[in-house]
Structure 1
Protein backbone atom coordinates (compact mmCIF):
# COMPACT_ATOMS: atom_id res chain seq x y z
CA UNK A 1 0.00 0.00 0.00
CA UNK A 2 1.35 3.44 -1.00
CA UNK A 3 2.16 5.55 2.08
CA UNK A 4 0.91 9.12 1.92
CA UNK A 5 3.58 11.83 1.89
CA UNK A 6 3.02 15.32 3.45
CA UNK A 7 2.68 16.75 -0.07
CA UNK A 8 -0.05 14.22 -0.94
CA UNK A 9 -1.95 15.06 2.24
CA UNK A 10 -2.06 18.75 1.23
CA UNK A 11 -3.40 18.04 -2.26
CA UNK A 12 -7.05 18.77 -3.03
CA UNK A 13 -7.26 18.50 -6.80
CA UNK A 14 -10.26 19.97 -8.59
CA UNK A 15 -11.43 19.24 -12.10
CA UNK A 16 -10.18 22.66 -13.25
CA UNK A 17 -6.61 21.95 -12.06
CA UNK A 18 -6.25 18.67 -14.01
CA UNK A 19 -4.66 19.20 -17.46
CA UNK A 20 -6.81 18.14 -20.44
CA UNK A 21 -4.49 15.26 -21.34
CA UNK A 22 -4.56 14.14 -17.68
CA UNK A 23 -8.36 14.04 -17.63
CA UNK A 24 -8.46 11.95 -20.79
CA UNK A 25 -5.77 9.67 -19.41
CA UNK A 26 -7.73 9.11 -16.20
CA UNK A 27 -10.94 8.41 -18.08
CA UNK A 28 -9.16 5.92 -20.35
CA UNK A 29 -7.82 4.09 -17.30
CA UNK A 30 -11.38 3.35 -16.17
CA UNK A 31 -12.75 2.07 -19.47
CA UNK A 32 -14.74 -1.17 -19.24
CA UNK A 33 -12.77 -2.85 -22.01
CA UNK A 34 -9.28 -3.85 -20.84
CA UNK A 35 -8.04 -3.73 -24.43
CA UNK A 36 -8.82 -0.01 -24.63
CA UNK A 37 -7.17 0.92 -21.33
CA UNK A 38 -3.64 2.38 -21.55
CA UNK A 39 -0.78 0.14 -20.44
CA UNK A 40 1.97 1.16 -18.04
CA UNK A 41 4.23 1.92 -20.99
CA UNK A 42 1.51 4.08 -22.59
CA UNK A 43 1.19 6.10 -19.38
CA UNK A 44 4.95 6.63 -19.20
CA UNK A 45 5.12 7.81 -22.81
CA UNK A 46 2.24 10.27 -22.33
CA UNK A 47 3.64 11.71 -19.11
CA UNK A 48 7.22 11.87 -20.38
CA UNK A 49 6.00 13.56 -23.53
CA UNK A 50 4.51 16.53 -21.62
CA UNK A 51 6.48 19.59 -20.57
CA UNK A 52 6.21 19.78 -16.79
CA UNK A 53 8.51 22.81 -16.38
CA UNK A 54 5.58 25.24 -16.82
CA UNK A 55 3.36 23.39 -14.39
CA UNK A 56 2.32 25.00 -11.14
CA UNK A 57 3.63 23.64 -7.85
CA UNK A 58 0.50 21.56 -7.54
CA UNK A 59 0.93 20.20 -11.08
CA UNK A 60 4.55 19.22 -10.38
CA UNK A 61 3.49 17.52 -7.16
CA UNK A 62 0.75 15.56 -8.94
CA UNK A 63 3.21 14.56 -11.65
CA UNK A 64 5.72 13.46 -9.01
CA UNK A 65 3.10 11.35 -7.25
CA UNK A 66 2.02 9.80 -10.57
CA UNK A 67 5.67 9.04 -11.43
CA UNK A 68 6.08 7.33 -8.06
CA UNK A 69 2.97 5.23 -8.60
CA UNK A 70 4.03 4.26 -12.10
CA UNK A 71 7.51 3.35 -10.88
CA UNK A 72 6.01 1.03 -8.30
CA UNK A 73 3.64 -0.45 -10.86
CA UNK A 74 6.58 -1.13 -13.17
CA UNK A 75 8.45 -2.96 -10.41
CA UNK A 76 5.30 -4.91 -9.55
CA UNK A 77 4.79 -5.78 -13.23
CA UNK A 78 8.35 -7.09 -13.56
CA UNK A 79 8.01 -9.12 -10.38
CA UNK A 80 4.68 -10.49 -11.57
CA UNK A 81 6.18 -11.53 -14.91
CA UNK A 82 9.00 -13.28 -13.06
CA UNK A 83 6.57 -15.19 -10.85
CA UNK A 84 4.43 -16.15 -13.83
CA UNK A 85 7.51 -17.48 -15.63
CA UNK A 86 8.49 -19.54 -12.56
CA UNK A 87 4.99 -20.95 -12.13
CA UNK A 88 4.79 -21.74 -15.85
CA UNK A 89 8.07 -23.64 -15.62
CA UNK A 90 6.72 -25.58 -12.62
CA UNK A 91 3.53 -26.36 -14.55
CA UNK A 92 5.54 -27.66 -17.51
CA UNK A 93 7.60 -29.90 -15.21
CA UNK A 94 4.47 -31.29 -13.55
CA UNK A 95 2.85 -31.89 -16.93
CA UNK A 96 5.93 -33.80 -18.08
CA UNK A 97 5.82 -35.91 -14.90
CA UNK A 98 2.13 -36.67 -15.46
CA UNK A 99 2.77 -37.59 -19.10
CA UNK A 100 5.60 -39.90 -18.08
CA UNK A 101 3.39 -41.56 -15.47
CA UNK A 102 0.58 -42.01 -17.99
CA UNK A 103 2.99 -43.53 -20.51
CA UNK A 104 4.06 -46.04 -17.86
CA UNK A 105 0.47 -46.89 -16.92
CA UNK A 106 -0.99 -46.81 -20.43
CA UNK A 107 1.79 -47.45 -22.97
CA UNK A 108 1.18 -45.91 -26.40
CA UNK A 109 -2.41 -45.32 -25.32
CA UNK A 110 -1.96 -41.75 -24.07
CA UNK A 111 -1.50 -40.43 -27.60
CA UNK A 112 -4.71 -42.10 -28.75
CA UNK A 113 -6.66 -40.87 -25.73
CA UNK A 114 -5.56 -37.27 -26.30
CA UNK A 115 -6.32 -37.43 -29.99
CA UNK A 116 -9.70 -39.08 -29.27
CA UNK A 117 -8.77 -42.09 -31.38
CA UNK A 118 -10.50 -45.45 -30.86
CA UNK A 119 -8.68 -47.80 -28.51
CA UNK A 120 -9.09 -51.44 -29.41
CA UNK A 121 -7.81 -54.52 -27.63
CA UNK A 122 -4.97 -56.38 -29.36
CA UNK A 123 -3.89 -59.99 -29.59
CA UNK A 124 -0.24 -60.82 -28.96
CA UNK A 125 1.04 -64.17 -30.16
CA UNK A 126 4.24 -64.19 -28.08
CA UNK A 127 4.39 -62.83 -24.56
CA UNK A 128 6.42 -63.72 -21.50
CA UNK A 129 4.64 -63.28 -18.15
CA UNK A 130 6.16 -63.20 -14.68
CA UNK A 131 4.42 -63.16 -11.29
CA UNK A 132 6.20 -62.66 -7.98
CA UNK A 133 4.95 -63.20 -4.44
CA UNK A 134 6.26 -63.40 -0.85
CA UNK A 135 4.81 -66.53 0.79
CA UNK A 136 5.48 -65.22 4.31
CA UNK A 137 3.94 -61.81 3.65
CA UNK A 138 0.68 -62.56 5.51
CA UNK A 139 2.61 -63.69 8.60
CA UNK A 140 4.80 -60.58 8.52
CA UNK A 141 1.69 -58.39 8.24
CA UNK A 142 0.10 -60.04 11.28
CA UNK A 143 3.20 -59.34 13.37
CA UNK A 144 4.07 -55.85 12.13
CA UNK A 145 2.74 -52.30 12.15
CA UNK A 146 1.03 -51.04 8.95
CA UNK A 147 3.62 -48.30 8.44
CA UNK A 148 6.40 -50.89 8.55
CA UNK A 149 4.64 -52.93 5.83
CA UNK A 150 4.26 -49.85 3.62
CA UNK A 151 7.93 -48.92 4.00
CA UNK A 152 8.98 -52.51 3.35
CA UNK A 153 6.95 -52.85 0.16
CA UNK A 154 8.09 -49.42 -1.02
CA UNK A 155 11.71 -50.43 -0.56
CA UNK A 156 11.21 -53.76 -2.34
CA UNK A 157 9.19 -52.33 -5.23
CA UNK A 158 11.66 -49.47 -5.72
CA UNK A 159 14.38 -52.10 -6.03
CA UNK A 160 12.36 -54.19 -8.49
CA UNK A 161 11.27 -51.15 -10.50
CA UNK A 162 14.92 -50.28 -11.04
CA UNK A 163 15.56 -53.75 -12.46
CA UNK A 164 12.48 -53.58 -14.70
CA UNK A 165 13.75 -50.38 -16.32
CA UNK A 166 16.88 -52.25 -17.45
CA UNK A 167 14.95 -54.85 -19.45
CA UNK A 168 12.52 -54.95 -22.35
CA UNK A 169 9.53 -55.57 -20.09
CA UNK A 170 6.41 -53.71 -19.00
CA UNK A 171 5.25 -53.54 -15.39
CA UNK A 172 1.54 -54.36 -15.45
CA UNK A 173 0.58 -53.89 -11.81
CA UNK A 174 1.30 -54.54 -8.15
CA UNK A 175 -1.31 -55.85 -5.74
CA UNK A 176 -0.14 -55.95 -2.13
CA UNK A 177 2.99 -58.13 -2.28
CA UNK A 178 2.30 -59.45 -5.81
CA UNK A 179 4.22 -58.03 -8.74
CA UNK A 180 3.37 -58.69 -12.40
CA UNK A 181 5.45 -57.90 -15.48
CA UNK A 182 5.26 -58.89 -19.15
CA UNK A 183 7.58 -58.83 -22.14
CA UNK A 184 6.41 -58.68 -25.75
CA UNK A 185 3.46 -56.49 -24.73
CA UNK A 186 2.59 -53.77 -25.64
CA UNK A 187 5.68 -53.69 -27.89
CA UNK A 188 6.21 -56.95 -29.73
CA UNK A 189 9.78 -58.26 -29.58
CA UNK A 190 9.66 -61.56 -31.43
CA UNK A 191 9.02 -65.21 -30.71
CA UNK A 192 12.02 -65.76 -28.40
CA UNK A 193 13.30 -62.52 -26.91
CA UNK A 194 10.36 -62.10 -24.52
CA UNK A 195 11.27 -65.30 -22.66
CA UNK A 196 14.92 -64.28 -22.38
CA UNK A 197 14.04 -60.84 -21.03
CA UNK A 198 11.66 -62.28 -18.43
CA UNK A 199 14.11 -65.05 -17.48
CA UNK A 200 17.00 -62.63 -16.94
CA UNK A 201 14.79 -60.26 -14.98
CA UNK A 202 13.53 -63.08 -12.74
CA UNK A 203 17.08 -64.18 -11.92
CA UNK A 204 18.11 -60.62 -11.07
CA UNK A 205 15.01 -60.06 -8.93
CA UNK A 206 15.70 -63.21 -6.95
CA UNK A 207 19.32 -62.23 -6.33
CA UNK A 208 18.43 -58.65 -5.38
CA UNK A 209 15.69 -59.51 -2.86
CA UNK A 210 17.41 -62.47 -1.18
CA UNK A 211 19.76 -60.35 1.02
CA UNK A 212 16.72 -58.53 2.46
CA UNK A 213 15.32 -61.69 4.06
CA UNK A 214 17.29 -61.28 7.30
CA UNK A 215 16.24 -57.63 7.60
CA UNK A 216 12.48 -58.24 7.67
CA UNK A 217 11.80 -60.29 10.81
CA UNK A 218 13.79 -62.67 12.96
CA UNK A 219 12.89 -66.29 12.37
CA UNK A 220 11.01 -65.58 9.10
CA UNK A 221 12.37 -66.84 5.79
CA UNK A 222 11.17 -63.89 3.71
CA UNK A 223 11.96 -65.14 0.20
CA UNK A 224 10.60 -64.25 -3.21
CA UNK A 225 8.59 -66.82 -5.15
CA UNK A 226 8.43 -66.40 -8.93
CA UNK A 227 6.40 -68.02 -11.71
CA UNK A 228 6.97 -67.66 -15.45
CA UNK A 229 5.07 -68.73 -18.56
CA UNK A 230 5.15 -67.87 -22.29
CA UNK A 231 2.28 -67.83 -24.76
CA UNK A 232 -0.39 -65.69 -26.48
CA UNK A 233 -2.58 -63.15 -24.70
CA UNK A 234 -4.83 -60.17 -25.30
CA UNK A 235 -4.29 -56.68 -23.91
CA UNK A 236 -6.27 -53.46 -23.84
CA UNK A 237 -7.53 -50.54 -21.81
CA UNK A 238 -10.36 -51.24 -19.36
CA UNK A 239 -12.49 -48.46 -17.88
CA UNK A 240 -12.95 -44.75 -18.56
CA UNK A 241 -12.33 -43.34 -15.10
CA UNK A 242 -8.80 -44.26 -14.02
CA UNK A 243 -8.36 -46.61 -17.02
CA UNK A 244 -6.04 -49.60 -16.68
CA UNK A 245 -3.98 -51.46 -19.25
CA UNK A 246 -4.87 -55.11 -18.58
CA UNK A 247 -3.81 -58.50 -19.90
CA UNK A 248 -6.18 -61.41 -20.43
CA UNK A 249 -5.92 -65.02 -21.53
CA UNK A 250 -4.91 -68.47 -20.41
CA UNK A 251 -1.25 -67.46 -20.58
CA UNK A 252 -1.77 -65.01 -17.72
CA UNK A 253 -3.61 -67.61 -15.64
CA UNK A 254 -0.91 -70.21 -16.24
CA UNK A 255 1.86 -67.82 -15.23
CA UNK A 256 -0.06 -67.12 -12.03
CA UNK A 257 -0.36 -70.87 -11.41
CA UNK A 258 3.40 -71.25 -11.90
CA UNK A 259 3.95 -68.72 -9.14
CA UNK A 260 1.37 -70.11 -6.70
CA UNK A 261 2.65 -73.71 -7.16
CA UNK A 262 6.29 -72.67 -6.83
CA UNK A 263 8.61 -72.44 -3.83
CA UNK A 264 10.23 -69.54 -2.03
CA UNK A 265 13.63 -68.55 -3.41
CA UNK A 266 12.98 -70.31 -6.74
CA UNK A 267 11.79 -69.48 -10.27
CA UNK A 268 9.10 -71.91 -11.41
CA UNK A 269 8.69 -72.01 -15.22
CA UNK A 270 6.30 -73.77 -17.57
CA UNK A 271 7.23 -76.19 -20.32
CA UNK A 272 6.69 -73.54 -23.03
CA UNK A 273 9.08 -71.11 -21.32
CA UNK A 274 11.58 -73.93 -20.82
CA UNK A 275 11.49 -74.82 -24.52
CA UNK A 276 12.05 -71.21 -25.64
CA UNK A 277 14.93 -70.72 -23.18
CA UNK A 278 16.45 -73.98 -24.41
CA UNK A 279 16.30 -72.67 -28.00
CA UNK A 280 17.91 -69.38 -26.99
CA UNK A 281 20.65 -71.34 -25.11
CA UNK A 282 22.68 -70.07 -22.19
CA UNK A 283 20.08 -70.91 -19.52
CA UNK A 284 20.39 -73.65 -16.94
CA UNK A 285 17.16 -75.33 -15.86
CA UNK A 286 16.18 -78.32 -13.78
CA UNK A 287 13.17 -80.56 -14.27
CA UNK A 288 10.70 -80.52 -11.39
CA UNK A 289 8.54 -83.28 -12.78
CA UNK A 290 4.79 -83.43 -13.25
CA UNK A 291 2.51 -81.52 -10.89
CA UNK A 292 -1.25 -81.05 -10.72
CA UNK A 293 -2.30 -77.58 -11.94
CA UNK A 294 -5.87 -76.34 -11.63
CA UNK A 295 -7.72 -76.50 -14.97
CA UNK A 296 -4.62 -78.06 -16.54
CA UNK A 297 -4.28 -81.44 -14.92
CA UNK A 298 -0.77 -82.90 -14.64
CA UNK A 299 1.84 -80.79 -16.44
CA UNK A 300 5.62 -80.91 -16.55
CA UNK A 301 7.37 -77.87 -15.05
CA UNK A 302 10.95 -76.76 -14.43
CA UNK A 303 13.12 -74.57 -12.22
CA UNK A 304 15.17 -71.78 -13.79
CA UNK A 305 18.56 -71.86 -12.09
CA UNK A 306 20.92 -69.50 -13.88
CA UNK A 307 21.89 -67.76 -17.11
CA UNK A 308 25.16 -67.22 -18.93
CA UNK A 309 23.76 -64.20 -20.79
Structure 2
Protein backbone atom coordinates (compact mmCIF):
# COMPACT_ATOMS: atom_id res chain seq x y z
CA UNK A 1 0.00 0.00 0.00
CA UNK A 2 2.80 2.35 0.91
CA UNK A 3 4.52 1.68 -2.45
CA UNK A 4 1.24 2.25 -4.23
CA UNK A 5 0.73 5.58 -2.42
CA UNK A 6 4.23 6.74 -3.31
CA UNK A 7 3.61 5.80 -6.95
CA UNK A 8 0.29 7.63 -6.99
CA UNK A 9 1.87 10.70 -5.47
CA UNK A 10 4.64 10.57 -8.08
CA UNK A 11 2.16 10.37 -10.92
CA UNK A 12 0.14 13.20 -9.42
CA UNK A 13 3.26 15.38 -9.14
CA UNK A 14 4.17 14.65 -12.75
CA UNK A 15 0.69 15.54 -13.93
CA UNK A 16 0.61 18.68 -11.81
CA UNK A 17 4.04 19.74 -13.03
CA UNK A 18 3.08 19.08 -16.62
CA UNK A 19 -0.11 21.07 -16.26
CA UNK A 20 1.76 23.93 -14.61
CA UNK A 21 4.38 23.92 -17.37
CA UNK A 22 1.65 23.86 -20.04
CA UNK A 23 -0.15 26.73 -18.31
CA UNK A 24 2.95 28.94 -18.19
CA UNK A 25 3.91 27.94 -21.73
CA UNK A 26 0.44 28.93 -22.95
CA UNK A 27 0.71 32.27 -21.14
CA UNK A 28 4.13 32.84 -22.67
CA UNK A 29 2.81 32.06 -26.15
CA UNK A 30 -0.20 34.34 -25.64
CA UNK A 31 2.12 37.15 -24.52
CA UNK A 32 4.38 36.64 -27.54
CA UNK A 33 1.36 36.64 -29.85
CA UNK A 34 0.02 39.83 -28.27
CA UNK A 35 3.42 41.50 -28.73
CA UNK A 36 3.55 40.42 -32.38
CA UNK A 37 0.02 41.74 -32.99
CA UNK A 38 0.97 45.03 -31.30
CA UNK A 39 4.04 45.34 -33.52
CA UNK A 40 2.00 44.60 -36.64
CA UNK A 41 -0.60 47.23 -35.67
CA UNK A 42 2.12 49.81 -35.00
CA UNK A 43 3.74 49.08 -38.37
CA UNK A 44 0.34 49.32 -40.08
CA UNK A 45 -0.32 52.64 -38.37
CA UNK A 46 3.05 53.99 -39.52
CA UNK A 47 2.35 52.80 -43.07
CA UNK A 48 -1.12 54.41 -43.04
CA UNK A 49 0.28 57.67 -41.66
CA UNK A 50 2.97 57.74 -44.34
CA UNK A 51 0.39 57.03 -47.06
CA UNK A 52 -1.88 59.81 -45.79
CA UNK A 53 1.06 62.21 -45.90
CA UNK A 54 1.29 61.79 -49.66
CA UNK A 55 -2.30 60.98 -50.66
CA UNK A 56 -5.76 62.33 -49.76
CA UNK A 57 -7.68 60.09 -47.37
CA UNK A 58 -10.25 58.89 -49.92
CA UNK A 59 -7.55 58.12 -52.46
CA UNK A 60 -5.42 56.30 -49.89
CA UNK A 61 -8.41 54.17 -48.80
CA UNK A 62 -9.16 53.25 -52.42
CA UNK A 63 -5.53 52.33 -53.01
CA UNK A 64 -5.41 50.09 -49.92
CA UNK A 65 -8.64 48.30 -50.82
CA UNK A 66 -8.18 47.90 -54.56
CA UNK A 67 -4.44 48.26 -55.10
CA UNK A 68 -5.01 51.06 -57.61
CA UNK A 69 -6.99 54.25 -58.05
CA UNK A 70 -8.97 55.79 -60.89
CA UNK A 71 -8.37 59.31 -62.18
CA UNK A 72 -11.38 61.54 -61.50
CA UNK A 73 -12.77 64.64 -63.16
CA UNK A 74 -13.69 67.56 -60.90
CA UNK A 75 -15.77 70.40 -62.29
CA UNK A 76 -14.89 73.10 -59.77
CA UNK A 77 -11.47 73.19 -58.11
CA UNK A 78 -9.50 76.14 -56.75
CA UNK A 79 -5.76 76.00 -57.47
CA UNK A 80 -3.10 78.04 -55.67
CA UNK A 81 0.51 78.45 -56.80
CA UNK A 82 3.18 80.21 -54.77
CA UNK A 83 6.85 80.76 -55.45
CA UNK A 84 9.60 83.06 -54.25
CA UNK A 85 10.77 86.14 -56.12
CA UNK A 86 14.49 86.15 -56.98
CA UNK A 87 15.04 82.66 -55.66
CA UNK A 88 18.16 82.14 -57.77
CA UNK A 89 19.74 85.19 -56.11
CA UNK A 90 18.82 83.85 -52.68
CA UNK A 91 20.50 80.58 -53.65
CA UNK A 92 23.72 82.49 -54.38
CA UNK A 93 23.79 83.95 -50.87
CA UNK A 94 22.89 80.89 -48.80
CA UNK A 95 24.67 77.56 -48.62
CA UNK A 96 22.78 74.60 -50.15
CA UNK A 97 22.06 73.20 -46.69
CA UNK A 98 20.81 76.55 -45.39
CA UNK A 99 18.72 77.10 -48.51
CA UNK A 100 16.96 73.75 -48.12
CA UNK A 101 16.46 74.41 -44.41
CA UNK A 102 14.85 77.80 -45.12
CA UNK A 103 12.57 76.32 -47.77
CA UNK A 104 11.59 73.55 -45.37
CA UNK A 105 10.68 76.16 -42.74
CA UNK A 106 8.43 77.96 -45.25
CA UNK A 107 6.78 74.88 -46.66
CA UNK A 108 6.14 73.36 -43.24
CA UNK A 109 4.37 76.58 -42.25
CA UNK A 110 2.39 76.54 -45.52
CA UNK A 111 1.41 72.92 -44.82
CA UNK A 112 0.16 73.93 -41.38
CA UNK A 113 -1.84 76.85 -42.77
CA UNK A 114 -3.58 74.98 -45.58
CA UNK A 115 -4.40 72.05 -43.30
CA UNK A 116 -6.17 74.48 -40.99
CA UNK A 117 -8.28 75.69 -43.92
CA UNK A 118 -9.11 72.18 -45.17
CA UNK A 119 -7.08 72.39 -48.38
CA UNK A 120 -5.11 69.67 -50.13
CA UNK A 121 -1.39 70.01 -50.72
CA UNK A 122 -0.52 68.82 -54.22
CA UNK A 123 3.26 69.16 -54.46
CA UNK A 124 6.36 71.30 -54.27
CA UNK A 125 8.68 71.79 -57.21
CA UNK A 126 11.89 73.57 -56.29
CA UNK A 127 10.73 76.80 -54.66
CA UNK A 128 7.15 76.45 -55.95
CA UNK A 129 4.28 75.33 -53.72
CA UNK A 130 0.93 74.09 -55.02
CA UNK A 131 -2.32 73.32 -53.21
CA UNK A 132 -6.00 73.01 -54.12
CA UNK A 133 -9.51 73.30 -52.74
CA UNK A 134 -12.42 71.02 -53.62
CA UNK A 135 -10.40 67.80 -53.57
CA UNK A 136 -10.80 64.91 -53.29
CA UNK A 137 -14.54 64.87 -52.54
CA UNK A 138 -15.57 67.46 -55.13
CA UNK A 139 -17.26 69.68 -52.57
CA UNK A 140 -16.57 72.95 -54.42
CA UNK A 141 -13.53 75.09 -55.05
CA UNK A 142 -13.24 76.48 -51.47
CA UNK A 143 -12.13 79.85 -52.83
CA UNK A 144 -12.76 81.71 -49.58
CA UNK A 145 -10.65 79.12 -47.76
CA UNK A 146 -7.89 79.39 -50.37
CA UNK A 147 -7.74 83.19 -50.23
CA UNK A 148 -7.82 83.09 -46.42
CA UNK A 149 -4.90 80.66 -46.46
CA UNK A 150 -3.02 82.82 -49.00
CA UNK A 151 -3.43 85.91 -46.81
CA UNK A 152 -2.21 83.98 -43.79
CA UNK A 153 0.83 82.79 -45.76
CA UNK A 154 1.73 86.34 -46.74
CA UNK A 155 1.22 87.62 -43.19
CA UNK A 156 3.51 84.94 -41.79
CA UNK A 157 6.15 85.65 -44.46
CA UNK A 158 6.14 89.38 -43.69
CA UNK A 159 6.74 88.68 -40.00
CA UNK A 160 9.39 86.06 -40.75
CA UNK A 161 11.18 88.39 -43.19
CA UNK A 162 11.30 91.16 -40.59
CA UNK A 163 13.15 88.81 -38.25
CA UNK A 164 15.47 87.70 -41.05
CA UNK A 165 16.37 91.24 -42.03
CA UNK A 166 17.46 91.99 -38.46
CA UNK A 167 20.20 89.37 -38.77
CA UNK A 168 21.14 90.16 -42.36
CA UNK A 169 19.45 87.22 -44.09
CA UNK A 170 17.76 87.57 -47.51
CA UNK A 171 13.99 87.95 -47.74
CA UNK A 172 11.63 85.26 -49.02
CA UNK A 173 8.90 87.23 -50.81
CA UNK A 174 6.24 85.02 -52.37
CA UNK A 175 4.05 85.60 -55.38
CA UNK A 176 0.73 83.83 -54.96
CA UNK A 177 -1.70 83.18 -57.82
CA UNK A 178 -5.16 81.59 -57.66
CA UNK A 179 -7.51 80.33 -60.39
CA UNK A 180 -10.53 78.04 -60.46
CA UNK A 181 -12.00 75.56 -62.91
CA UNK A 182 -12.15 71.87 -63.88
CA UNK A 183 -9.25 69.48 -63.34
CA UNK A 184 -8.47 65.78 -63.59
CA UNK A 185 -6.94 64.34 -60.40
CA UNK A 186 -5.29 61.01 -59.79
CA UNK A 187 -2.27 59.01 -58.69
CA UNK A 188 0.66 58.44 -61.02
CA UNK A 189 3.37 55.83 -60.63
CA UNK A 190 3.48 52.39 -59.03
CA UNK A 191 6.57 52.70 -56.81
CA UNK A 192 6.64 56.25 -55.47
CA UNK A 193 3.02 57.36 -55.44
CA UNK A 194 2.24 60.95 -56.38
CA UNK A 195 -1.20 62.54 -56.29
CA UNK A 196 -1.45 65.28 -58.91
CA UNK A 197 -3.91 67.37 -60.90
CA UNK A 198 -3.94 68.26 -64.59
CA UNK A 199 -5.79 70.55 -66.91
CA UNK A 200 -5.94 74.07 -68.29
CA UNK A 201 -7.01 75.34 -64.87
CA UNK A 202 -3.63 74.33 -63.47
CA UNK A 203 -1.77 76.04 -66.31
CA UNK A 204 -3.75 79.27 -65.92
CA UNK A 205 -3.20 79.28 -62.14
CA UNK A 206 0.54 79.08 -62.80
CA UNK A 207 0.30 81.99 -65.27
CA UNK A 208 -1.68 84.07 -62.77
CA UNK A 209 1.01 83.48 -60.16
CA UNK A 210 3.79 84.42 -62.60
CA UNK A 211 1.99 87.67 -63.44
CA UNK A 212 1.90 88.74 -59.79
CA UNK A 213 4.33 90.52 -57.48
CA UNK A 214 6.16 89.48 -54.35
CA UNK A 215 4.02 89.86 -51.25
CA UNK A 216 0.78 90.06 -53.26
CA UNK A 217 -2.10 87.68 -53.99
CA UNK A 218 -3.09 87.74 -57.66
CA UNK A 219 -6.40 86.14 -58.68
CA UNK A 220 -8.21 85.56 -61.96
CA UNK A 221 -11.58 87.06 -62.84
CA UNK A 222 -13.24 83.69 -62.15
CA UNK A 223 -11.92 83.76 -58.61
CA UNK A 224 -12.78 87.43 -58.09
CA UNK A 225 -16.45 86.86 -58.92
CA UNK A 226 -16.67 84.40 -56.01
CA UNK A 227 -14.68 86.26 -53.36
CA UNK A 228 -15.55 89.92 -53.99
CA UNK A 229 -18.15 90.00 -51.21
CA UNK A 230 -15.63 88.66 -48.69
CA UNK A 231 -12.41 90.34 -49.82
CA UNK A 232 -11.89 93.73 -51.47
CA UNK A 233 -9.84 93.46 -54.65
CA UNK A 234 -8.08 95.84 -57.03
CA UNK A 235 -8.69 95.31 -60.75
CA UNK A 236 -5.40 95.20 -62.64
CA UNK A 237 -6.93 94.95 -66.10
CA UNK A 238 -6.41 92.32 -68.77
CA UNK A 239 -2.91 90.94 -68.31
CA UNK A 240 -1.12 88.97 -71.01
CA UNK A 241 -0.42 85.38 -69.97
CA UNK A 242 1.94 83.13 -71.89
CA UNK A 243 0.00 80.94 -74.34
CA UNK A 244 -3.28 81.99 -72.67
CA UNK A 245 -3.97 85.39 -74.20
CA UNK A 246 -5.18 88.14 -71.88
CA UNK A 247 -6.72 87.32 -68.51
CA UNK A 248 -8.66 89.58 -66.15
CA UNK A 249 -6.60 89.78 -62.96
CA UNK A 250 -7.14 91.29 -59.52
CA UNK A 251 -4.97 91.88 -56.48
CA UNK A 252 -6.57 90.89 -53.18
CA UNK A 253 -6.19 93.85 -50.83
2:45 is aligned to 96
Query: 2:155, 2:175 → 1: CA distance?
Result: 12
In the TM superposition, structure 1's runs of 4+ consecutive aligned residues that sit over 6 Å from their partners are: 71-81
What CA distance in whole angstroms lies between the structure 1 residues aligned with 2:162 and 2:32?
A: 51
Counterpart selection for 1:210 from 138, 155, 158: 158
Matched ranges for 1:150-189 at <5 A: 150-189=100-139
Structure 1: runs of 5+ lacking an equivalent = 1-50
1:200 to 148, 156, 165: 148
Q: Which runs of 5+ in 2 are unaligned?
A: none
What does residue 289 of structure 1 align with? 237
Which has the larger share of helix?
A: 2
Query: 1:149 and 1:78 mapped to 2: Cα distance?
Result: 56
Alignment correspondent of 1:105: 54
Shift of the alpha carbon at 1:251? 0.3
Aligned to 1:220: 170
CA-CA distance at 1:302 after TM superposition: 0.6
Q: Which moved more, 1:228-237 or 1:238-247?
A: 238-247
Q: In 1, Cα distance between the equivalents of 2:130 and 2:77?
A: 13
Q: How does 1:23-62 map to 2 (within 5 A)?
A: none
Query: How much has 1:282 moved relative to structure 2?
Result: 1.7
Larger Rg: 1
How far the C-alpha of 1:83 sits from its partner, in A, is: 6.6
CA distance in 1: counterparts of 2:26 and 2:90, whole angstroms: 59
* Pair 1:73–1:135, CA change in 2 (3 A): farther
Q: TM-score, normalised by structure 1?
A: 0.68
Q: 1:237 to 1:276 in 2, by over 3 A?
A: same
Output the TM-score relative to the length of structure 2.
0.82
On the 8 A contact 2:157/2:172 being kept in 1, the answer is no
Report what 1:143 is aligned to.
93
Q: Does residue 277 of structure 1 match 2:223?
A: no
Could you tell me how far apart the structure 2 residues matched to 1:75 and 1:161 are?
51
The structure carrying a bigger strand percent of its residues is: 2
Please report how far the alpha carbon of residue 117 of structure 1 lies from its aligned counterpart in structure 2 after TM superposition.
6.4
Change (3 A) 1:148 1:275: same
Closer, same or farther: CA 176–94 of 1 in aligned 2, 3 Å: farther
Q: Secondary structure in 1 aligned to 2:215?
A: coil
Q: 1:256: Cα distance to partner?
A: 0.7
Q: Distance in 1 between matches of 2:37 and 2:68?
A: 32
Number of residue pairs matched by the alignment: 244
Higher relative contact order (CA 8 A, sep 6+): 2
Q: CA deviation at 1:105?
A: 2.2
Which residue does 2:77 correspond to in 1?
127
Q: Which residue of 1 aligns with 2:252?
A: 304
